[in-house]
Amino acid sequence: MTSIPDQLSATFGGAFAALDLPADLGQVKESDRPELADYQCNGAMAAAKAAKKAPRAVAEAIVEHLKTAAPDLEIEIAGPGFMNIRLTPAFYATRANEIAADPRAGAGKVATPRTVMMDYGGPNVAKPMHVGHLRSSVIGDSLSRLFRFRGDQVISDIHLGDWGLQMGHLVTELQDEQPDLPYFDANFTGPYPSEAPVDIEDLARLYPQASAKAKSDEARMARSRAATAELQAGRPGYRALLRHFIEVSIAALKRDFGDLGVSFDLWKGESDVHDRIAPMVERFKAEGVTIQSDGAWIIPVAREDDKKELPPLILISSQGSALYATTDLATIEDRKVEQNPDLTLYVVDLGQSDHFEQVFRAAYKAGLGQEGAFEHIKFGTVNGPDGKRLRTRDGGTFRLADLIREARERAAARIDEAGLGAELSAEDKAEVARLVANAAIRFSDLSNYRTTNYIFDLERFISFEGKTGPYLLYQAVRVKSLMRKAKEKGLEPGAIQITAPEEAALVRRLDGFDGALQRAYDLRAPNHICEHAFALAQAFSSFYAACPILPEGDDAVRASRLALAKAMLDQLTLALSLIGMDIPERM
Ligand code: ARG
């Protein structure tokens, strides 16, 4: 299974080598100018320069050589020595039949599979999730699907923020509301109730309440800090509360993420590595990884060639507490012991770039991984129509559950407006609305290169027209319905043959799948999958407009076109599944 550009590159490379020219100059890619050629090779110019010959003469010699080596290629020389290539219908047909028969729709696997840890989501217990967490989840989930599909062993971890000051806020605020609970009684000998004293709504209320009070009230802040320290030091009642808070939060998160189709293998949090911190810090001290500075323990991480000097990582503050970076280092150690990943990807907004650079360099210094074992997969912000970071109407951060609900309501309205789903039951219609809403949310996010900021515009994302998730679902559903109709008529797909340029163009797109997945994988950038899915749907539209399928009178041509349609549907289904989009049966 080799893509057309790879096959042609091998052929051209062979010709270059036969003429004593570097084989790697025989690279062939799709033509930038489809009206002139299908593929092109531009290596003659560089080869001529090295061999001190005229580029056109080099190109002529290559073409001459290929006349016997690859007689079915039609090659024309243009300009100074561009080689424009056209393929025969038979060439396209061979490749199309190969893709149609392949359960992976033409996509390859990595040569050496690795164990890859994916750290994404990262919501904080009690604090509402904001769109930054949504982006992280959607990008991280898609990368997990892609890496897994390409053969790596992927372990995903939500890495809950459950160990900071927010926990002290919750403990103290709950104490003010319900002082008689046994968790606050230092003399209580247990056991603590198994039922949580709060639900997710309580948590969502208690945290902002406490944090607002603490902002203007020093003494209130001091209580939260003290409670955080006591919790971290292991006070039993507070630890019991922490477990309740985490359980309640995880249940709500599982529901929200489940709605979006985002999943995690591990639901670990910062608090899970707490016991590793003290021994880790001792080791770092003994090995000289960390040094004392102004009462704090730091790890210097600046490098000679830094454009901007990176400040040292603070391992233990002068007040004696472990910080965000300390937990991340302990988590790296934990993962090394538990899963021993070859590579860890952190899908976190680019505002945390310095933090991760510090953590990675410190980890390399401490022997927790080889240079390159950790990558920060950065992403930009989601903005409102005013171009500023997205907020809700009252200025607060977005809650994921609200966003999902709103997307579904709008999707349902759009489906009605578009006159779709008329013959569906209310239940099926709600399911279609869920899939359309997810498609809208996921595709609009993933179709931008991840570091690009984008404006959140639900109305546009949910449209069935343009480059949107719902458009792609709609195209896929149309092909599904075509396949159903064919079946009802007793028509089966057959061997693919090429009878029209639109068919060849569709095969070129089908052939581009592997390259798109490779790019998405190498650059950790799911937008290349989105690009491919959209281009594929467009190529299919042109094909479908030019080439009748069910009404076609020639049996062999009709069966061939059905097979092309099926190959496109199979590949589109796969591509969309890597973005996390499921296709409804009807809509
Ligand atoms: N909880 C963090 C936040 O909300 C994100 C966690 C990212 N992952 C990590 N390993 N630090 O900003």
Question: Could you read off the pLDDT of 245-272 as tens digits, one per residue?
Answer: 999 999 989 988 998 899 999 999 999 9
Name the closest-CA residue to atom 2, ligand 1: 122
Please name every residue paired with 35 in a beta bridge, in sequence order, or none if there are none.
Answer: none
Specify the pLDDT at position 393.
59
pLDDT at 101 over 60: yes
Specify the pLDDT at position 206.
93
Residue 269 DSSP class = B
CA distance 99 to 514: 11
Name the closest-CA residue to atom 5, ligand 1: 122
Poorest-confidence range of 282-296, 353-367, 374-388, 532-546?
A: 374-388
Closest ligand 1 atom to 352 CA: 12
Name the closest-CA residue to atom 12, ligand 1: 122
Specify the pLDDT at position 209.
93
State whether residue 187 is helix, strand or coil.
Answer: coil
Q: Are 458 and 406 in contact (CB under 8 A)?
A: yes
Specify the pLDDT at position 130.
75
Specify the pLDDT at position 397.
62
Domains of the chain, by residue range, sit at 4-87, 165-260
The b-or-e profile of 193-217 (16+ CB within 10 A means b, else e) is eeebbbebebbbebbeebbebbeee
CA distance 466 to 445: 15
CA of 269 to the centre of ligand 1 (A): 10
Q: Of the residues 162, 352, 374, 375, which should be mutated to test ligand 1's pocket, given the most ligand atoms within 8 Å of the CB?
A: 352
Cβ–ligand 1 distance for 270 under 6 Å, the answer no
Please tell me the class of the 4-87 domain: alpha beta
Name the closest-CA residue to atom 10, ligand 1: 328
Judged on CB neighbours under 10 Å (0-12, 13-18, 19+), 308 is exposed
Specify the pLDDT at position 455.
87
CA of 122 to the centre of ligand 1 (A): 5
Q: How far apart are the first and last CA of the chain?
A: 35
70's CB contacts (< 8 A; 6+ apart) are 11
Average pLDDT over residues 460-476: 94
Confidence class for position 575, pLDDT limits 50, 70, 90: very high
Closest ligand 1 atom to 132 CA: 4
Residue 38 DSSP class = S
CA of 434 to the centre of ligand 1 (A): 28
Strand 296-299: give its sheet, edge to edge. Answer: 291-293, 296-299, 313-316
Name the closest-CA residue to atom 8, ligand 1: 122
Q: Say which amino acid occupies 1.
A: M
Cβ–ligand 1 distance for 348 under 6 Å, the answer yes
Nearest to 221, CA basis, from 156, 182, 166, 268: 166
pLDDT at 395 over 60: no
pLDDT at 133 over 90: no
Specify the pLDDT at position 223.
96
CA distance 124 to 524: 25
Compute and round to an integer the Cα radius of gyration of the chain: 29
Name the closest-CA residue to atom 6, ligand 1: 122
CA of 200 to the centre of ligand 1 (A): 20
Average pLDDT over residues 185-213: 92
CA of 161 to the centre of ligand 1 (A): 6
**Locus of tokens 């489906």:** 415
Q: Are 567 and 107 in contact (CB under 8 A)?
A: no
Output the CA–CA distances (angstroms, integers) from residue 175 to 96, 194, 197, 291, 538, in the order listed. 68, 18, 11, 39, 60
Cβ–ligand 1 distance for 328 under 6 Å, the answer yes
Cβ–ligand 1 distance for 152 under 6 Å, the answer no
What whole-number percentage of the chain has pLDDT above 90?
Answer: 84
Specify the pLDDT at position 456.
84
Mean pLDDT over each residue of the chain, to the nearest integer: 94
pLDDT at 399 over 80: no
> How many other C-beta atoms are found inside a 10 Å radius of the C-beta of residue 180?
7
Cβ–ligand 1 distance for 124 under 6 Å, the answer yes
pLDDT at 69 over 60: yes
pLDDT at 545 over 80: yes
pTM for the structure as a whole: 0.94
Specify the pLDDT at position 394.
59
Poorest-confidence range of 19-28, 87-96, 201-210?
A: 201-210
Q: What is the pLDDT of residues 351-390, one digit of tens each?
A: 999 999 999 999 999 999 999 999 999 999 888 888 887 7
Query: 218-233 and 200-216 helices cross at what angle (nearest 10)?
Result: 130
Token code pair at residue 516 = 């798109």
pLDDT at 81 over 80: yes
Nearest to 352, CA basis, from 378, 326, 333, 370: 378
Q: Are 364 and 370 in contact (CB under 8 A)?
A: yes
Confidence class for position 500, pLDDT limits 50, 70, 90: very high
